[in-house]
Structure 1
Amino acid sequence: MKIEQLDIPSSAIEFLQKNGYVNLYPPQEKTIKAGLLEGKSILVSAPTASGKTLLAMLAIIKHLSEKKGKMVYLSPLKALASEKFNEFKKLESVDLGKNLKIQISTGDFDISDKSLGQNDILVLTNEKMDSIIRQGAEWIDEISLVIADEVHLLGDDDRGPTLEIILTKLKLLPQKPQILALSATVTNADEISDWLECKLVHSEWRPVPLSEGVYDQGVITMQDRKKFEIETSVRGPPVDLGLDSLKNGGQAILFAETRTRSVSLATKASEAVYRTLNNDEKESLEKISQKILNDNEQTELVKTLATLVKNGVAFHHAGLNQNCRDLIESEFRNKRIKILASTPTLSAGVNLPARRVVVANVTRFDAKYGANKPISILEYKQLCGRAGRPQYDEYGEAIIVANSNSEEIFDYYINGIPEPISSKLTGDKALRIHLLSFVSTSPGIKGEDIVEFFSKTLSGSQERKTTIKFHIQITLRYLESEELVKQKGNRYIATEFGKKTSTLYIDPLTAVLFRKSLEKISTKGHTLGLLHVITSSEDFFPKFSLRNKDYELVGTLIENYADQLIENISEYDCNRSLLAIHAWINESSEIFLSDNFGIESGDMHRIAETADWLVHALYEIAKLEKKDEILIEIDTLRSRIAYGIKKELVDLVRVKGIGRVRARILFKNGIKTTEELNEIPTEKLAKMDKIGPVIAENIKTHLKKIR
């Protein structure tokens, strides 16, 4: 089927053709024939790169051309949401009889932000959508199309329950919005589509054929049982497999089980890859390497990355900050970086394919079990999905490195069927969060109606009603005992504390910890104590455990700041993230954090981001509990966390354009308050380090707005 045959406006057809869409792929054609453009709800279960994004665009175009309601695109990841936002934004150039308004929102929802409801297309993370539903935004009743991406993540322990709850609520809306659910190929897609009340379009078709195999002792056995050998070296099998792909002009992603291994694999590959580069490539990579050094604090990790990039290789993991990760992804797409060693996080989200994917190890450390465990078949298939680039490759290859038991690995992973998706909603944490949210948004709801709603979730379709009821009763008992909900007769309502917990989007366990900690405070001056409460809460992430050498550091910290503690604690009650956040708010550099605590820039960003959210929640609970005497202290702490500054700089960073570096420079030059900043002439301000005329003018302009 050709694009021009579709029942959409000619302006849209012309736009799509200009963007390279001429013929529909088989899964796309099947979806159109299943009624996508007639408003039918559909679950598309198909491999990576089989054209699911175009289906989303076609559904949006159809709704826009018929001037239906609002369209919501749901993503599990911020990076993926950003990628899709940029793609959908191109639709603004299409004449569909109205000015298209599109907005992305991936952060915490602010009830005063009414601009979201003024848009036609909203690109949201699942958590953001959940938060919006909890806030009771009126425009939810105008939603006519829901596009849910990566729906196979319903089976994910962390992300699955939220996606399950919002899809349950959206499909139960009175206006019955059209649902387009997009998923990797899963075993029980028919069960998921029945639950979603969608037609199922299942396809194994890929635009680039994928061949899977297992490497053992220098020989690769592919799924058709053909064997071939590769040149081996002391660099090890994963690197040898990557270098072998380069010989034929391909790129390779080496999936490593840990951050350390990803750096090690990139390092081992660097010298050999460098020998394959031409002079133009070397010159380009030299500039990219220098950019990495210029734009980031030069921690050992950053310097290692810059050195490796010069050789045409890189590593990618969560320890790198977003600047570095974005640059690496971009240069890999541009084919300047030839081999990329990455942790498995790269398998989800952004589109970053390579001709050959190498799975260096099929085991991962599982913190819950405290030991290495084999990855699931579904996760392996997701890693495979990165192999084969449309427009670049005629084929893709995914190869597992088998250290032993190659036949067993072959049978389990290559010939294996991915595990069926099973709901994780009745886990303790997920249920207490979403049960409280449901009661909070349904005041006076009967116990049997709560059970009835949860029986309409995926969990409800997979478990007995009596089992669901049992889990709900236990969870309600906990919520009642901590005064988050109250029961009157057979009806339940959320208390003010419960409502606040739900709208703050925190785990009830976190809220209870915050309230109990606040009850123990009667004076000011509890910075370390508040940081300890935040970093030990259920919602805090990432929590880095203490290494042997950290116990003495924590012990000294507790001893030096004993007067700031809320209760007596020992080093065994602390984690390394507490050390990092305390050092951060005392203006420690990224180099110091890396060298002393092993906390890299990307880690520190996530620690600060999570702490900022939780300290805001702490502030709101303190307000609710009428702990007015410590509100200023908590608010000050939030500024310190956001900017990584000592208390003396809090006033200065209120001015837009002044962060931790410029604030410290101003302070050293005798400007310690916004009053003093207002008095200094612009010309004198401009002469200071890292300021200059343009920034000085901007600072003065923004200063007027806060005075």
Structure 2
Amino acid sequence: MSSTRLLAGFIGINRHADQNIPDLSCARRDATALWALWQDTLLETSPILLVDEQATVVRIDEVFAQTLDTANEQDIVLLAFSGHGTHNHRLVAHDTDKENLAETTISMAALAERFRRSKARHILLVLDCCFSGGASAKVIEDGLQSRGSGFSLEESFTGRGRVLLAAANVDEEAWEVDGHGLLTYALIDALQTSDGPLEVAHMMADVSGRVRAEANRFGLTQTPKWVGDFEGGFTLPTLRPGTNYYKEFPEKTGLHVSTDINELAGFNLPQTILSSWAAAYPDGLNELQLSAVNEYRLLDGQSLLVVAPTSSGKTFIGEMAAVRAATANQRAVFLLPYKALTNEKYEDFTALYSAKLGLRVIRCTGDFQDSTNAFIRGKYDIALLTYEMFLNLVVKNQGTLNRIGVVVIDEAQFITEPNRGIIVELLLTYLLASRERGISPQVVALSAVIGDTNGFEHWLKCNALISTRRPVPLEEGVIDRSGIFEYIDPDTLTVQTRQLLPQGAVVQRRKEAGAQDVIVPLANVLLKQQVGAKLIVFRNMRGKAEGVAGYLAKDLNLPPAHDVLALLPSNDLSKTSARLHDCLLGGTAFHNSNLSREEREAVERSFRIKNGSVHVLGATSTLAAGINTPASAVILGETEFVGEDGRPFTIAEYKNMVGRAGRLGYNERGQSFIIANTTLERRHLFQKYVLGRPEPLRSSFSNSHLATWVLRLLAQIPRLLRNDVSSLLANTYGGYLAGRADPDWRQRTEVHVERIMVDLIQYGLVEQEDKHVQLTLLGFASANSSLAFPSIVRLLQVLQQIGSATVSLERLLALTQVLPELDDTYTPLFKNGSLEKTWPRHVAIHFGEDIVHLYGRSLTDPLDYYRRSKRTLVVNDWIRGTSMETIESTYTNNSFLPTSYGDVRRIADATRFHLRSVVPIVQALYPILDLNDEELDTLTTRLETGLPVTALPLIKISTLTRGEILILVQNGIRDPANLWALDETKLGELIGINRAIELAKFRP
């Protein structure tokens, strides 16, 4: 008689070749964990592991043949499948074709027949999938029709010693937790808990009970279904983790590493990427990064808040967590505040992780290049998104969060920002609330310098790693007009003063004394201190940033930046383009919103590299927010913003700006300077900013915006008791802080919330059934919009006034200008200019008098009537492809208050962003309207690119600039085929020979 053999096959499928089948996160881990435990314990066996691309229909069938078909009367077979099922009881393979499911899936009926035919003494089949459920479940719609009375697990999987364990009942979803399917998670634990052989019958009851209890803990229902016959003493060996298991799951070992980056291989990170990291960081991991890995267990999946100065290496901490998750077949999401930052990171990640590791890197910023569908379906390894895009996508597509292993929030201090803070707080609140549903991705929040964390890490339920140490010491201080520099010596941490500028070096250069008088001699001294020094001068206005670059280009006698000049576009130039050209001839540049994308990238690239020819950069404060432009020294011309409030910089804002000083690998120390007029002002600014402690972290939560918060939070849950609505606010960071500071806050808030609920119901945004409330379709469209509640109310009132008969996308573009969010968008207007008063008449001609009448209502400033009209016309000219030179000259009524490229882009971007919110609200209010999604996509793409419809096919060639596309269209070239039909000489005649040669690299 032959001896007993243990035959095992483990199948786990995260990735699917068909783009219409959503990818999963934990299935591969499920199969790999079971295989590794089996292999480590039963060394003499040869368990089969099929994951992702290996798990084709043919290979899965071969596994069944090698186990079920070859087993004899003494053998025990264990088969485990983790992946998608279909509603018609079929298992989905990697190469399943959703359009041909009958031929490309594994039929459960056929598998049951194989079950019955097998000679094996005992068989255990574990299915961690489901055959019913919503978008977040391990199931896909198949459209196949059942025959007869349908398929029955009880009737099909029968026979002596045959046992089937399914993750859930036929009408339930199968959930995931802690990186595994809920069923597999319980099974792995059960297989390791016994001292001797495991009775399968007892194990089934134990696993089923654990799954039910764990699901209940998260407010879910999942009831494992097991059928079969345990006759004959069906046992399995107890499994123990060993080499294979710890190799696949190094986080279970508690591994500590040294500064040597290559030691991260112990966390199963590929050597390819470790070599690239080691080359980029020759000194290895710094103290902050080591603490994150060793003490705070970053690579073991522990959530973490990291607070550290600029250039301290905290971004690499988030990067390590993201790559660790991605290479472990989980998905990683990197969230950033600005589109420009997202695009910069996308280029870096694509070059490194796509090219060297084959990871799928995507981005979603609200642009036409977005990979939104790939994000929703999980067809990525690392996704880079702006805050707004992430919150919008995960709330609208609730299954997306189930697939994510780690979420990295860069620049988390934005939670304090008055306008953007609500988005950061809402997305973090959503992540925290998801834990109650068993969804708990690792959260890594990266913050620049702040004061006290104010309980932020406790609210996030994670540890805080806080460091004030800079990799490059900073000589931080204030300089006055006498040339005396008062500063902190970073070596001794003592206050020092020295005569940095010679007596008489500071002279008045204009009619009135100003910062320029100090900046010019100071820049001269700083650039002579070190060969290749890089200097950023922060100014609080676009014009001042351009001005400082202009006068330093004349006064410093720097060599021209010919390499940057060669990269600049030569068509559709703004007046700012000419000023940038002049600055670059003098070795300086500026960085503000008036630069085009191509101009900004060329300037940034030259400034950040060691031998780049741009040595001085005039910049507005937005450059301080994460853009990779470290400098040798930083100068602040002012310490307050411009505008109606003219508020001073916070200490945290100041610290982040001066934090740009000190280039690791280039400078032994950085230097920063605030410009002061007098000795008294120097001492005051030194005490306030240099010695000051950054403000505590706070929430942007405000009672004046309570209705907006309530509406946005209601979008995150299906329905709840009306009396529990205030509890949603208590779960926010703002609610956490308010409740901690004031025991009566919750009670008082309930009164306010009840008044808000009355308004929400009155406007048709919320409906009540018995004691429960939930959003209506109109409410859901409003809650998932970018609009504050007062804006939604204004929009609804405007729509009711014009009715549905005359609504079109073009008129909605004009109507969007009445929203408070657009009124808050800076629109240059010369108050006494006669030309400005003609704009309403032009709008009436193009869009109708009723639109203009609406512009005259709900005004906080009478001049908003003209600003709304002007914005509409500017946007209309922009999307028609009017040249930038023409737009600037047409809408500039006074040379001291010009309409510039930055103004046009800001207005167009704000219109595009909020139009995306307006259209779903209009569609929900007037279902009879046919506001075609494709037409909306076309319009928003035109708003983004500034092109007419006829020119849009050319945006497929991403290197073409707006000016080049307009020239091509004017010459009858309207799609890529037309373009590639031209020879290089002809193309050179249109856009310049150098650009033609460059484009030839992309010729198909």
Instruction: Provide the TM-score with structure 1 as the length reference.
Output: 0.85
2:339 match: 78
Shift of 1:487: 2.9
The amino acid that maps onto 2:259 is K
1:498 match: 779
1:268 is aligned, of 519, 527, 551, to 551
Moved more, 342-351 or 182-191: 182-191
The amino acid that maps onto 1:312 is G
The amino acid that maps onto 1:412 is K
Matched, 1:106 2:365: yes
Shift of 1:372: 2.2
1:357 match: 634
Maintained 8 Å contact 2:536/2:631: yes
Matched, 1:605 2:887: no
Moved more, 105-114 or 294-303: 105-114
Shift of 1:415: 0.6
The change in CA–CA distance for 1:473 and 1:237 in structure 2 (over 3 A counts) is: farther
**CA displacement 1:344-387 (0-9 Å, x = unmatched):** 11111211011110010112124xxx242211111101111111
Moved more, 254-263 or 660-669: 660-669
1:574 match: 866
Q: Distance in 2 between matches of 1:667 and 1:661?
A: 10
Moved more, 345-354 or 170-179: 170-179
Q: Distance in 1 between matches of 2:703 and 2:347?
A: 36
Matched, 1:42 2:304: yes
2:839 match: 554
The change in CA–CA distance for 1:219 and 1:70 in structure 2 (over 3 A counts) is: same
1:421 match: 697
Matched, 1:565 2:565: no
The amino acid that maps onto 2:904 is M
- Higher RCO (Cα < 8 Å, 6 or more apart): 1
2:769 match: 488
2:615 match: 338
Maintained 8 Å contact 2:968/2:990: no
Map residues 282-431 of structure 1 onto 2, 5 A cutoff.
Answer: 282=560, 285-289=561-565, 291-292=567-568, 294-334=569-609, 335-366=612-643, 370-404=644-678, 405-429=681-705, 431=706
Maintained 8 Å contact 2:259/2:286: no
Q: Distance in 1 between matches of 2:690 and 2:970?
A: 62
1:156 match: 417
Q: Distance in 2 between matches of 1:163 and 1:27?
A: 24
Q: Distance in 2 between matches of 1:528 and 1:574?
A: 19
Maintained 8 Å contact 2:607/2:615: yes
Matched, 1:214 2:509: no
How many equivalent pairs are there?
Answer: 672
1:256 match: 539
The change in CA–CA distance for 1:666 and 1:184 in structure 2 (over 3 A counts) is: closer
Map residues 563-642 of structure 1 onto 2, 5 A cutoff.
Answer: 563-566=848-851, 568=853, 569-570=855-856, 572-575=864-867, 576-585=870-879, 587-595=881-889, 596-597=891-892, 598-626=898-926, 631=931, 641=943
Matched, 1:534 2:851: no
The amino acid that maps onto 1:269 is L
The alignment's C-alpha RMSD in Å is 3.7
**CA displacement 1:564-613 (0-9 Å, x = unmatched):** 43352456523142342243345432112223332322332332233234
Maintained 8 Å contact 2:363/2:371: no
The change in CA–CA distance for 1:61 and 1:615 in structure 2 (over 3 A counts) is: closer
Q: Distance in 2 between matches of 1:683 and 1:84?
A: 35
Tell me the SS of whatever aligns to 2:764: coil
Q: Distance in 2 between matches of 1:447 and 1:106?
A: 35
Q: Distance in 1 between matches of 2:432 and 2:930?
A: 44
Maintained 8 Å contact 1:100/1:120: yes
Maintained 8 Å contact 2:576/2:901: no
> Which of these two proteins has the greater Rg computed from alpha carbons?
2
1:229 match: 500
1:701 match: none
Maintained 8 Å contact 1:214/1:221: yes
Tell me the SS of whatever aligns to 1:574: helix
2:226 match: none
Q: Which stretches in structure 2 are left out of the alignment for 5+ residues?
A: 1-257, 489-494, 510-515, 740-745, 857-862, 893-897, 1000-1004
Shift of 1:476: 3.0
Map residues 86-101 of structure 1 onto 2, 5 A cutoff.
Answer: 86-89=347-350, 90-92=352-354, 100-101=359-360
The percent identity for this pair of structures is 24
The change in CA–CA distance for 1:690 and 1:504 in structure 2 (over 3 A counts) is: farther
Shift of 1:528: 8.4
The amino acid that maps onto 1:169 is Y
Shift of 1:454: 2.3
Maintained 8 Å contact 2:714/2:783: no
Maintained 8 Å contact 2:299/2:324: yes
The change in CA–CA distance for 1:63 and 1:288 in structure 2 (over 3 A counts) is: closer
Q: Which stretches in structure 1 are left out of the alignment for 5+ residues?
A: 699-707
The amino acid that maps onto 1:360 is G
The amino acid that maps onto 2:312 is S
Q: Distance in 2 between matches of 1:139 and 1:265?
A: 47
The change in CA–CA distance for 1:402 and 1:299 in structure 2 (over 3 A counts) is: same
1:192 match: 456
The change in CA–CA distance for 1:111 and 1:272 in structure 2 (over 3 A counts) is: closer
**CA displacement 1:122-178 (0-9 Å, x = unmatched):** 222111110112212413113222212111111111221211111122133223222
Q: Distance in 1 between matches of 2:484 and 2:932?
A: 66
Shift of 1:41: 1.8
Shift of 1:670: 9.4
Maintained 8 Å contact 1:528/1:561: no
Q: Distance in 1 between matches of 2:799 and 2:693?
A: 51
The change in CA–CA distance for 1:412 and 1:591 in structure 2 (over 3 A counts) is: same
2:315 match: 53
Instruction: Provide the TM-score with structure 2 as the length reference.
Output: 0.61
Shift of 1:219: 1.3
The amino acid that maps onto 2:364 is S
Q: Distance in 2 between matches of 1:462 and 1:232?
A: 49
1:201 match: 465
1:31 is aligned, of 292, 304, 309, to 292
The amino acid that maps onto 2:461 is E
Maintained 8 Å contact 1:134/1:502: no
Q: Distance in 2 between matches of 1:523 and 1:663?
A: 36
Map residues 122-141 of structure 1 onto 2, 5 A cutoff.
Answer: 122-141=383-402
